[in-house]
Structure 1
């Protein structure tokens, strides 16, 4: 069966477009929907009038991401507790989008930095910093002058600071540290847990008001340790877990009664756990099996 030209473009550009939309939105489901919508538009309009299909698709994805962010701004402002992006599990070898993502950093820490930017700033920053587009192309995508885009990028770069989009690969040491962390929590080994956590470690828990979660970050190794020991003391349900890679960081998926309950990922610095990201908002877990 001969593939249509649109299908060929879909296979070629889907990883790139998904990565762009996910960075913009922090939502796996919304990113997938926008990419699908972009290809529906392409299949409807055809490519005869398009000089650069890649730029055309990036323009569609970027602008629809901006529109979605603007429409969801009020909801985000009233979000209950810390907001974290939907976890993106990167252990699938079958999904080409994930293979692309692994080459380009999509760490939770970096996505949270992007939240500091306005919708347009985020778009300009990603198109320039990540996709390396020239300012004339970016101007066409976001509907601004190239001079204005230069100023927007400079402002966004200053807001992000010196943080660069580099991966924290799930090395053997990081994976082993994650396994030790889970073992210490499950066994109630407080001393071991304290040795794994940086003294100034932070726990961010995203329940979105839909389930029990901490409303504010938990700061410090001792407080985090007490938090987990308290949870384990109250846990009566049958639970299981498996190790995976979440947004490039080592992590686990937790199941209760064989249903996904939460996704935890660890940001590790100097071989200690610096930040724990804990997503239990059920709306952000529907794409995980």
Structure 2
């Protein structure tokens, strides 16, 4: 059994460890599994004498995530259709004021997809520095590189992501309004409003993972996306309902078919238009959302 002081220590760091693992992996389940492994490690090895517990625990998480990403790379090669990170609804860590910043900064679907461009080590270095504000000495210890090398890796990663507006953009109140108008337009069949809200070069990614029917290729352009949305509404015989929710720190919606959760959509709003739509219908990626909604 863990000593009460160790349990308290783990509890205090658990949200931080989860947020790091989730950003690294884009998977709620895998992130929770890795954090659980940390719990087991603390049970087997006392950390009372560890000088910097936070750095020690983040190092364990970082290395577990790097190993997991290397394994996941092969799985992604055979993944059916576009791959999207698992959605987090209602900001999983919002309940702890001390950790609000951890989840509010940089967890949008667009941002997590940008991180996919980085190698496992680049992603770890970037997140430890950019999000957790680690010094380069601690980062070097976590990833097994020199501090000078980590500095170069971070700058290279930051420059690569900095060219994308998603890297800097934070959800605005206007984005919420645009999302609400989009949903209203779909439910009322208002195609002209849909076209006004969507950027001309908008993109829709649909992640079914081969587990359920979904578009296997990105749907490009406002007109095609509008036709796709209207087609889904007209073809189904089931009763469609929805709720507007925060998804990955920004505007989103949960879609229900005959009262059962069918999918989660998050939006990337740029320049007061919807630039990207991320539609997750893979049932395996919705398990934890269903649990939260109970």
TM-score, length-normalised on structure 2?
Answer: 0.91
Q: What residue number does 2:33 align with?
A: 33
Q: Measure, in 2, the Cα distance between the counterparts of 1:170 and 1:6.
A: 40
User: Mind listing any 5+ residue stretches in structure 1 that lack a counterpart?
Assistant: none
Instruction: Quote the offset at 1:21 in angstroms.
Output: 0.5
Instruction: Quote the offset at 1:61 in angstroms.
Output: 0.6
Q: What residue number does 1:82 align with?
A: 82
Residues 52-61 or 88-97, more deviating: 88-97
Q: Measure, in 2, the Cα distance between the counterparts of 1:169 and 1:10.
A: 31
Q: What residue number does 1:59 align with?
A: 59
Establish whether residue 264 from structure 1 lines up as the match of residue 265 from structure 2.
yes
Q: Measure, in 2, the Cα distance between the counterparts of 1:112 and 1:255.
A: 25
Q: Measure, in 2, the Cα distance between the counterparts of 1:243 and 1:139.
A: 42
Instruction: Quote the offset at 1:148 in angstroms.
Output: 2.3
Q: What residue number does 1:127 align with?
A: 128
CA deviations over 1:117-165 (Å, ceiling 9, x no partner): 1111111111112112111111111112222222322332233233475
User: Mind listing any 5+ residue stretches in structure 2 that lack a counterpart?
Assistant: none
Q: Measure, in 2, the Cα distance between the counterparts of 1:26 and 1:91.
A: 14
Q: Measure, in 1, the Cα distance between the counterparts of 2:131 and 2:146.
A: 20
State whether residues 162 and 168 of structure 2, in contact with CA within 8 Å, keep that contact through their aligned partners in structure 1.
no
Q: What residue number does 1:284 align with?
A: 285
State whether residues 91 and 249 of structure 2, in contact with CA within 8 Å, keep that contact through their aligned partners in structure 1.
no
Q: What residue number does 2:11 align with?
A: 11
Change in Cα spacing, 1:147 to 1:168, as seen in structure 2 (3 Å) is: closer
Q: What residue number does 1:237 align with?
A: 238
CA deviations over 1:69-115 (Å, ceiling 9, x no partner): 11121001221111110011125686439834443221111111110
RMSD: 2.0
Q: Measure, in 2, the Cα distance between the counterparts of 1:272 and 1:94.
A: 27
TM-score, length-normalised on structure 1?
Answer: 0.92
Give the number of equivalent residue pairs.
286
Q: Measure, in 2, the Cα distance between the counterparts of 1:236 and 1:101.
A: 41
State whether residues 22 and 31 of structure 1, in contact with CA within 8 Å, keep that contact through their aligned partners in structure 2.
yes
Q: Measure, in 2, the Cα distance between the counterparts of 1:12 and 1:21.
A: 16
Change in Cα spacing, 1:29 to 1:232, as seen in structure 2 (3 Å) is: same
State how 1:95-114 maps to structure 2 within 5 Å: 95-96=95-96, 99-114=100-115
State whether residues 170 and 245 of structure 1, in contact with CA within 8 Å, keep that contact through their aligned partners in structure 2.
no
Change in Cα spacing, 1:19 to 1:155, as seen in structure 2 (3 Å) is: same
Establish whether residue 169 from structure 1 lines up as the match of residue 139 from structure 2.
no
Instruction: Quote the offset at 1:11 in angstroms.
Output: 2.8
Q: What residue number does 2:45 align with?
A: 45
